[in-house]
Every structure is written in C-alpha cells, then in structure tokens.
C-alpha cells in the first residue's frame, strides 16, 4: 500500500506542478489512471474523500462546494503557496476567497468581528 501511495504522490506532483483548483469529479479519474489496473479509489481507499483525509490532507484541501461536487485546492509545492500576510488582505477578500458559498449578506454579518480582529492584530504587530 505504501508503494502505491508513494507512486501516486509522485504522479500527482507531476500532474499538478503548480497550485490548482480541481473538481472531485475530475480529480478521481486522474487518480484512478495512476492506480494498478485491477484497483480503483473505492476498492483501495474507500473513495476520494477517504484517500485525501488519510494520505493527502496537506496537499489536497477543500476549497468550495460546487453543486453536488466538491472543488479541491491541490498544491504539492508549499514554498510557493504561502498565504499573504493577514494584514495586507482586506477581511472581505479573505471571506470571498475562502468561503465562496456565502452570500454577500452573510459576509456582511460577520464582517465586523473580522474587522475588530484585524485591528487588534495590527496593534500587536
């Protein structure tokens, strides 16, 4: 099993040399093509979600829900994907990019606490 995971990790690094957003329905067939011919995601790992949670939790992360599908952020190069410093990004931008499924009204409701946190952090810095 560890050989399969190691080979899959290398194949995914080659498939995704830079950070990319990918739907689960697209990612699953890509992973399946790198597995032994007589195996698939479901039989080996119990499905895509299980594989990600068990073996790729740092490299493949939840990004957004897209209808009935899930969009994942895939990044095997962590040096180039560090987030910008918190204080250089507005709280509205943070919310828009990290919680795509919230409405503008919902974002407005949680905007004030985030602004307060940002002000406190700027005083600490």
Per residue in 86-113, pLDDT (tens digit) is 445 555 666 666 555 666 777 677 777 7
Helix or strand holding residue 15 (H, E):
helix 2-15
Does position 71 have pLDDT exceeding 90, yes or no? yes
pLDDT surpassing 90 at residue 24:
yes
What average pLDDT does the chain have? 80
Judged against a pLDDT cut of 50, whether residue 82 lies above it is answered with no
Classify strands 20-23 and 69-74 as parallel, antiparallel or unpaired. Answer: antiparallel
Single pTM value for the model: 0.59
Q: Per-residue pLDDT averaged across 66-79, rounded?
A: 86
pLDDT beyond 50 at 84: no
Look at 104 and 40; give whichever has higher pLDDT.
Answer: 40
Q: Look at residues 68, 87, 71, 91 and name the one whose alpha carbon lies nearest to residue 19.
A: 71
């Amino acid at each position: 099993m560890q050989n399969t995971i190691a080979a899959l990790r290398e194949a995914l690094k080659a498939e995704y040399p830079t950070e990319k957003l990918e739907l689960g329905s697209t990612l699953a067939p890509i992973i399946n093509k790198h597995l032994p011919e007589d195996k698939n995601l479901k039989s080996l790992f119990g499905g895509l979600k299980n594989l990600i949670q068990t073996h790729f939790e740092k490299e493949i992360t939840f990004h957004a829900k897209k209808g009935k599908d899930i969009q994942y952020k895939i990044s095997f190069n962590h040096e180039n994907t560090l987030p910008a410093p918190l204080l250089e990004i507005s709280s509205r931008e943070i919310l828009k990019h990290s919680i795509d499924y919230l409405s503008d009204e919902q974002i407005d409701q949680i905007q004030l606490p985030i602004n307060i946190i940002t002000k406190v952090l700027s005083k600490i810095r």
